[in-house]
Chain A
Amino acid sequence: MSFSTKTVRQPEPAAATGTLISRRVSSSNHTWNLVLVGAVLVLGIVLPFILPAAELGIAMRILIFALMGVGWNMMSGFGGMFSFGHAAFFGIGAYTTAFLLVEVGLTPWLGMIVGMVISAAAAVGISYLALRYQLRGAYYALSTFAFAEMLRLFVIGNESLNKTVGFTVPVMFGDNWGMFQFRAGSPVYFWIGTAMLVIVMLFCIWFLRSRAGRFSIATRDDELAASAVGIPTLRYKLTLVAISAAITALAGALYLQFYMFIDPDLAFGATVSNNAIITAVVGGVGTLWGPVLGAVIVAPLSDLVTELLRHPPEWLSFLEGLDGLDILVYAVVLIAFVLLLPKGIVGTFLGRRKK
């Protein structure tokens, strides 16, 4: 990825198949991308009419995971800056929205935007420091991880952020568009989430096709060459970081409004970062649609496992009532994909088709 890390341990160019990032930008498939966005939109509108209300929770999880994964992917997949602490940006989004709503009375619609701005600013600040001081590879990973963990500890120790108790969204009666709140199980949440995902996808498609997007990808692929032809690489890296953080913050705000509750672990815990990573890895890091497909697979996993444990088939009856099996499934899926299908589903598919 970067020139200077090409020490003995870097793969030869021919051996680049082992890399996790799919190098192919599917920009030649512009029409297809727009068709897929349309498909997501149609599916999103129709789904609440088909699905039983009880399944809407899972559908919401898919949307939240998809937003997180898409956000993570912008910085890690298209920017080549692997983040192990995306919980930081998710948490900033959720906490800003919650704080402004509960303490100030600001509508979540605006709170969410404030959260996205703060999140992007924080991400740019921390990444500027990290990139300025040439933190690479392991060090960059650790700095992202530490940033999320610091925020978690800060919130836990901060009285005005309710310490470990977190925030509960005050409940209102009936549907209230202005305050982004609807009766429990309302399909409107899902439609709003779908709209968010569609807007985010359209934005990503536009950005990656733009000059800035191409410069960003060139920077990822060979930073030295990119800066040699005059691309201000730091600027484009920070742009990606800001976009990534803002999208992830949006996911955090959506999470808050749907579950109506947030606490330091739900917002800033390592689990959140891991969920974003696993979603993107399963779908395909550095592919446009990978994280969305990944979310469809990963998000329902834990519900499926829980369901399976509640009524286990005969041969699995020994598993009944066990805690932690869902995390084990996540772990196995993550390891299996990294080892066996490192480009993820979409990345592998695109790679095959182009041959």
Chain B
Amino acid sequence: MSPQAQAPAQPQANTPSPPKAARRANGRPSTRTMLVALGLLVIASVVAGIVSGSTTVLIQALVTGLLTGGVYSLIAMGLTLVYGVLHVINFANGALVAVAMFVSYAAVNALGLHPYVALIVTVPVMALIGAGIQAGLLNPIMRSPIHTQLLITIGVALALESLLLIIAGPNPKSVSLPGDFGVEIFGASVSVSRIYAFVGALVLVALLWIVLQKTRMGTAIRSVAASPEGARLVGINVKRIYIITFALGASAAGAAGTLVAPFTTIEPTAGATFNLTAFVVVVLGGMGNVPGALVGGLIVGLTEQLGGLILPGQSPLLAVFVVFLLVLFAKPQGIFGRSS
């Protein structure tokens, strides 16, 4: 399959149609934009290296950026899946990650599970919560204008965060990983838990990919994403697919929450930070584009670290947001999305 032709230099200035994200969840990255993105990252690395004046610092930033980026990908996965199928920006995604952190905290402390074995608790719990949100709150208004659904997800986010605050209290918590130690990669020191999280993220992304591409249910999800009407015509229960999709998205958020729990401060608002990053990742990768989210996550992780070097003293997220707005305006279909 050859890469799609790129958008012209002045994208959609005169056409009435909005820059739709790739409507299917399996858009292939285009080689040219990937090369451009890679080139920009290399330039940013060189600049960061010059500004910081130390190779060690640069390598540390690159390794940390990649590892964190993997986690961002995983968190964004649920968001992009939900957007790709339901066309709803799930503002509650970050709150779901926070809920998952607390669930895994509870599983580790109450049931004495290993922090990663807690996945067997968090994933089903989050899937249930996700299914409940979709069935109870979102399905009734799926035909309303988009802001209606966004408001519901904002409401859900507020509700979940306040519930966490009520149930668990404001004191930050932490999950300690037995046998967490630092290792050196190319002279950069990294804690093992971050490597586990990175590998876990890759595995889960691959799993999600297989589910979407190879299973009957995945095919149904993709067909609903492509055309809800068409899917209904061939006998797919669209509302059920919506519920399953949201449950899958919430499970991805759940898995992410468990994987990052060992190196994150667990508090009710912990998800809000991830929320922002995940939005950026999703837009970068093309809204609704699962492989795009993986690459987008890595790019955001690197941007954050390199931006921290280039603009010392600023929040590392600021660089991410500048990139975000640039991409949003210059190429809103995402660097891997095809233009409609």
Contact = CB atoms under 8 A, between A and B. Distances in A.
Given A157-B318, A323-B170, A339-B152, A146 B227 contact: no
Secondary structure at chain A's binding surface: helix, strand, loop or mixed? helix
B148 interface: yes
A289 interface: no
A3 B12 contact: no
Interface string A327-346: 11011101100110010000
Chain A contact residues (Cβ within 8 angstroms of B): what range? 35 or more
Interface centre among B137, B155, B228, B279 (most CB of A within 10 A): B155
Interface stretch (A136-144, A171-179, A187-195): A136-144
A20 B144 contact: yes
A335 B155 contact: yes
A129 B144 contact: no
Interface stretch (B157-165, B198-206, B209-217): B157-165
A123 B224 CA distance: 37
B332 to A, nearest CB: 5
Contact of A134 (B12, B169, B315): B12
B159 A5 contact: no
A35 interface: no
Given A150-B321, A331-B156, A325 B162 contact: yes
Interface stretch (B29-37, B102-110, B245-253, B322-330): B322-330
Given A9-B228, A339-B140, A153 B321 contact: yes
Contacts of B148: 18-20, 338, 342
B56 to A, nearest CB: 24
B287 interface: yes
A134 B159 CA distance: 33
A18 B143 contact: yes
A315 interface: no
A180 interface: no
Interface of B: 11-13, 15-19, 83, 87, 89, 91, 137, 140-148, 150-152, 154-159, 161-166, 169-170, 227-229, 268, 272, 276, 279-280, 283, 287, 311, 313-315, 317-318, 321-322, 324-325, 328-330, 332
Given A8-B229, A277-B154, A331-B158, 4 more contacts: A139-B283, A141-B150, A331-B159, A338-B152
Would you list the 8 A-B pairs with minimal beta carbon distance, nearest first?
A324-B165, A331-B158, A331-B159, A157-B314, A327-B162, A335-B155, A328-B162, A324-B162
